[in-house]
Amino acid sequence: LLMLSVGLAGKGDQGMQNPGGLGDRPVSFHFLERSVMLPKAVKRRVHALKRLQVQCANIEAKFYEEVHELERKYAALYQPLFDKRRDIVTGAVEPTDEECEWHSDREEEEELAEEVKEKATIEDAKKEEATPEEDPKGIPEFWLTIFKSVDMLSDMLQEHDEPILKHLKDIQVKFSEPGEPMSFTLEFHFEPNGYFNNAVLTKVYKMKSEPDSSDPFSFEGPEIIDCEGCQIDWHKGKDVTVKTIKKKQKHKGRGTVRTVTKQVPNDSFFNFFNPQVAPDSLYQIDEDSEFTLATDFEIGHFFRERIVPRAVLYFTGEALEDDESFEEEELEEGDEEVILCSLTNTPFDQKCQKAVC
């Protein structure tokens, strides 16, 4: 199955442990060479160690199951805070002066040059005289701003999506209940709008937290193995995931021309809720579809681990600066990765035909 590792070690990181989790691990030439050279008695003991390693992997799987339960438990503790965030964003609740106090505001004011502050005061006074000050409701376009700021999301965003996402009130993460197969659900809550009837759009990510019997040593924690969207009840003529095109057809015999109208798929963020079905085997999927599924899994993980818990920091851009700093450090630490041929120990050439490479 196409999988994306979302183990504890990758929690909070934009990158994945095993993006796409694609394909079986190739047998190392060095492993084969070392295995051949080992005495029979030593090989026997190595087999015993491998059996122990499989038992360790099974214990690790239980550990991650308990981590999932802890996440579910603490999600319930976070939720009242996220509900308050939603109420402030939508304007349902006005925070008190005490709740609005933030130390950095005072620090920034102290750093401003006196003449700059005076100039700003004069300009504000002129604006107030010209037009009455407007107090917008809540924090307008909160989620849309986040979508447009994060590269991973803005790549999916189209201009015709933006008016719809202005109606997005909240994004929530729900974890599967005890006894149910491991999964998490992204819930996108919308206010009443002129585009569709759904109050909530959902995307379920199904997970697996057990070693693969055919390759138990590859286990690195829970993996997303599939996802399931939802049906959007679009208002007539408002479905942005399709577009209408007109084509002219010429009759072969009579030579008459007619115009045919048909609907074709259209790029849109809302295609996110109609994902491609993960195949049972990688042999059933082409390279483009493989990439699409892996990207979908990564986006789901990013919503869960980064966007929902730290939404305000993506709105202000502070989280983006943190992500950029991390990426820059990664680039500075290592030069361009070079893959060496296991036979010749020279840089791997894509044209090399040796199977063990």
Judged against a pLDDT cut of 70, whether residue 274 lies above it is answered with yes
pLDDT in tens, 87-133: 999 999 999 999 999 876 555 555 655 666 666 667 666 665 655 55
Is it the case that residue 350 has pLDDT exceeding 60? no
pLDDT of residue 135: 80
**Token pair for residue 101?**
């106090």
**Rounded distance between C-alpha atoms, residue 18 and residue 16, angstroms:** 5
Distance CA 303, CA 296 (A): 11
Q: State the chain's mean pLDDT as an integer.
A: 79
Query: 28-34 long-range contacts, Cβ below 8 Å, gap at least 24?
Result: 28/342, 29/342, 29/343, 29/356, 30/342, 32/356
Whether residue 5 has pLDDT greater than 60: no
What integer is the mean pLDDT of 34-56? 88
DSSP annotation string for 235-276: PTT--TTEEEEEEEEE-TTT--EEEEEEEEE---GGGGGSPP
Give the tens place of pLDDT for each residue, 296-341.
999 999 999 999 999 999 999 998 876 665 454 544 554 444 444 4
Angle, alpha carbons 313-127-135 (nearest 5°): 45
221-272 per-position pLDDT tens digit: 888 888 999 999 999 999 999 998 888 777 777 777 787 888 899 999 999 9
**What are the tens digits of pLDDT across the range 185-204?**
999 999 999 999 999 999 99
The 3-state DSSP class for residue 182 equals: coil
Which stretch of DSSP H or E encloses residue 117?
helix 114-130
C-alpha–C-alpha distance, residues 166 and 143, integer Å: 7
Tens digit of each residue's pLDDT (9 = 90 or more) over 305-314: 999 999 999 9
> What pLDDT sits at residue 104?
65
Distance CA 209, CA 297 (A): 15
Asked if residue 184 lies in contact with residue 209, where contact means CB atoms within 8 angstroms, the answer is no
**Minimal CA–CA distance to 212: which of 11, 18, 342, 48?**
18
Nearest to 323 by CA among 108, 149, 185: 149
Who has greater pLDDT, 16 or 245? 245
Distance CA 56, CA 58 (A): 5
Q: Give the number of residues written for the chain.
A: 357
User: Does 168 score more than 70 pLDDT?
Assistant: yes
Taking 60 as the threshold, does the pLDDT of residue 14 lie above it? no
User: What is the residue extent of each domain of the chain?
Assistant: 40-92+138-234+268-277+287-325
Q: What is the pLDDT of residue 32?
A: 56
CATH code given to domain 40-92+138-234+268-277+287-325: 3.30.1120.90
| Interatomic CA distance for residues 128 and 145, integer angstroms | 27
**How far apart are alpha carbons 17 and 223 in whole angstroms?**
10
Give yes or no for a contact between 85 and 312, defined as CB atoms under 8 angstroms apart. Answer: yes
Backbone angles phi, psi at 254, to 5 degrees: -85, -20
Tokens of 321: 């600066």
pLDDT at 339: 44
Place of tokens 């021309």: 257
